[in-house]
Amino acid sequence: MTDIRLTNTLTRQVEVFEPLVAGQVGVYLCGPTVYDLAHLGNARSAVNFDMLHRLLRHDFGVENVTFVRNITDVDDKIIARSIESGKPIGELTAASTQDYLDDLDALSVLGVTNMPRATEYIAEMIAMIEVLIAKGHAYVASDGNVLFHVPSMPDYGQLSRRSQDDIIAGARVEISASKRDASDFVLWKPKKDDEPASAAFESPWGLGRPGWHIECSAMSKSILGDVFDIHAGGNDLIFPHHENEIAQSRCANESAHMAKTWLHNGMLMVEGQKMSKSLGNFFTVRDLLGQGHRGETLRLALLSGHYRAPLDFTQAKLTEAKNRLDSWYRAWNGATPATDVPAAVLTAVRDDLNTPQAFAEIDTLKGNPAELAAAAQFLGLLNLSPEDWFQGGGSADDLTADAIDALIVERADAKKSKNFGRADEIRDQLTEAGVVLEDSAGGTTWRRG
């Protein structure tokens, strides 16, 4: 079997992956903060590391891989959204978690072994903070915050390789008079007067809630142990989040490592620009599915570049992904997949998750439908029957049945409020998409023309 080789951010080297315990692999991937729909950047991280999950399950066996992806369900943004929307925190985070899982399902991301929610591990976080205080790595500040004292760890900063000056500059936004050092960061913060009681937990330091970084240190320790194989996330998490996770875990556990291998995916851009709400190029997974793009098309587009490189997500890339899938579905035509994944495809994925190379290999298998299917399904693609792919509104230009229904409801509402311009506009849009409307006394029915 070819070795799995991975680029370890900690050493900046491509390394042959060897688990700490032979034959057993533990992975921790930082999951979402649940208050809003997942955007394409969130989707990229989930899909890229789903490829790692699939490879590890293939090579080590499903029962030998523990893949943890957490849910952050206590956070400033969650509290703000709860106050703004009038929805209780528990209701907001439960609905948002379900939306996230539905989106991942559409993108054919495998279910994880463990999905710990931060609010279920408060006791473990408190225990870890108490250890850090006892060992002289943390202190209770005069304003009630419990802070990690960065200078207490001489080799802090190895993952991001930042100088002490950079760290202080980066921490400037958080500088408060009560900090012993500008780079110290929060482990536990006291409840503010205007915050709801449901966001606060009892602790030895009074009512309050954990800082974000301590969540992952406590949950990974509980499930995977003091030191585990792989920690993954987006490269925007390297500093401060992952650096601070390492500081907390290593100092509390007195270990040389938190995780042996650190993997980070590159940033996602849209049409050459950073995705942002102000630029109007901010897309959620839901937006693109609603426009009629298939989950598999989005998945292939997200895996079309190497995970470590920045990915420019463009309309052209979506069209390319759709065309490639069309050609694979056509070549496959429903043949029984081969038992083994073709060696060239496995070799590509074992080589630092080189999915672009794996796709190029699949392109060469069009004369061998059984091998093509085995390869594509290993990559989480060709999950539909060819009939469903071609007849179920597979074209990027086609609207999904749900989208058509929604437009028909909107058109009826527009007519009711005498907004005939909008009603006509919707009819034109549907006509252009090949949808024929039939109005009758009983309402509007539709069929594809």
Which residues sit at the interface with Zn ion, rule CB under 5 A? 30, 216
We find the least distance from the C-beta atom of residue 402 to Zn ion, in angstroms, to be 34
Q: CA-to-CA distance for 143 and 176, rounded, in angstroms?
A: 9
We find the least distance from the C-beta atom of residue 237 to Zn ion, in angstroms, to be 7
We find the least distance from the C-beta atom of residue 243 to Zn ion, in angstroms, to be 11
We find the least distance from the C-beta atom of residue 241 to Zn ion, in angstroms, to be 6
Nearer to Zn ion, 30 or 71 (CB): 30
Nearer to Zn ion, 210 or 292 (CB): 210
We find the least distance from the C-beta atom of residue 109 to Zn ion, in angstroms, to be 18
We find the least distance from the C-beta atom of residue 245 to Zn ion, in angstroms, to be 6
Nearer to Zn ion, 174 or 351 (CB): 174
User: Residues near 430 by Cβ (< 8 Å), separated by ≥ 6?
Assistant: 399, 404, 407, 408, 437, 446
Q: CA-to-CA distance for 36 and 301, rounded, in angstroms?
A: 23
Nearer to Zn ion, 45 or 354 (CB): 45
Alpha-carbon torsion 123, 126, 128, 134, what sign? negative
We find the least distance from the C-beta atom of residue 92 to Zn ion, in angstroms, to be 21
We find the least distance from the C-beta atom of residue 231 to Zn ion, in angstroms, to be 8
Nearer to Zn ion, 41 or 394 (CB): 41
Nearer to Zn ion, 30 or 423 (CB): 30
Nearer to Zn ion, 230 or 365 (CB): 230
Nearer to Zn ion, 10 or 426 (CB): 10
Q: CA-to-CA distance for 324 and 359, rounded, in angstroms?
A: 9
We find the least distance from the C-beta atom of residue 266 to Zn ion, in angstroms, to be 18
We find the least distance from the C-beta atom of residue 149 to Zn ion, in angstroms, to be 21
User: Residues near 342 by Cβ (< 8 Å), separated by ≥ 6?
Assistant: 361, 365, 371, 374, 375
Nearer to Zn ion, 216 or 289 (CB): 216
CA–chain centroid gap for 114, Å, is 15
Nearer to Zn ion, 30 or 381 (CB): 30
We find the least distance from the C-beta atom of residue 150 to Zn ion, in angstroms, to be 18
Nearest to 107 by CA among 40, 34, 62: 40
Phi, psi of 401 (to 5 degrees): -60, -40
Nearer to Zn ion, 30 or 399 (CB): 30
Alpha-carbon torsion 295, 115, 215, 75, what sign? positive
